Amino acid sequence: MSDFSPSDGAPAGRGADRGLLAGRRILVVGAGTRRSDDPDAPVGNGRAIAVVAAREGAEVACADVDEVAAAGTAKRITDTGGGAHVLVGDVGDPGDAARMVADAALRLGGLDGVVVNAGIGTGYGLAGTSVADWDRVLAVNLRGPFLVAREALPLLGEGGSVVFTGSLAGAKPGSRSPSYDASKAGLEGLARHAAAEGAPRGVRVNVVAPGLIDTVMGRSASAGNADRERSARLIPLGRQGTAWEVAEAVVFLLSSRASYITGQVIGVDGGLSTLR
């Protein structure tokens, strides 16, 4: 019997005393969900990751550039009896990144895992991408994970885990934003390097690479329901994924069940990456 009865589509958890992340202290950077005027808007990856981690027994520091979004995630956790803290900062700013990691370690009493989920996309094609667009996307999507990993890796001990949220766009073109594609490809190289540095101390680093996931960000990139339905027909499993399904993969990689997995890119894409 589950200890939770969520009404938001989230999978039920096992409870703090016996979940996959029981007793673990997790920082999720980018833990909010993009704001939307749609009352039925889907949850974002960061919020789903934080909520599922808490439902699997972790105490979670919810960090985001948007304090309201971070607080909304933390409230979902505390409303079901979990432990959550709100942190605010811009992941692409070196001072903010260092402060978020240090504050999370202080509030949680240490760190066992870190998720860097923050990501943006802007620009359309090479001609439609300004230098400012390029620099901002790379600052959030690639410099941010580098800054967080640099600060967090020394604080993680044996069994520690870092998970970056990448994208299928890191391996295949399709986002229409060259800065987004490049940042996600670079993230995979960063993860392999960090995995090599962390391995001697038993710290693992991996990437979860979602495909077409039904989130507010995903919907804003499409032209509407008809466009999403056309996209779904391209996926071998015949549908878009949900942020909750991305979260399950992330939580697995944070857990001891993934103790021999490091330096890997795990696709959560319904088989889309298998197509040429």
Residue 143 burial by Cβ neighbours in a 10 Å radius (0-12, 13-18, 19+): buried
Q: In what order do the strands lie in the sheet with 161-165?
A: 84-88, 59-64, 25-29, 113-116, 161-165, 204-210, 265-268
Residue 180 a catalytic site member: yes
Measured CA to CA, the distance from residue 170 to residue 173 in angstroms comes to 8
> In the chain, what is the greatest distance between 2 CA atoms, to the nearest angstrom?
55
How many whole angstroms from its chain centre is CA 95? 21
Q: Which residues share a beta bridge with 113?
A: 26, 161
267 three-state secondary structure: strand
Measured CA to CA, the distance from residue 206 to residue 263 in angstroms comes to 5
For residue 7, what are the contacts with CB-CB under 8 A and spacing of at least 6?
Answer: none
Contact predicate 77/19, CB 8 Å: no
- Buried/exposed 182-191: b ≥16 CB within 10 Å, e otherwise: bbbbbbbebb
55 membership: H or E segment, kind and range:
helix 45-55
Catalytic residue among 146, 164, 180, 244, which? 180
Catalytic residue ranges: 180
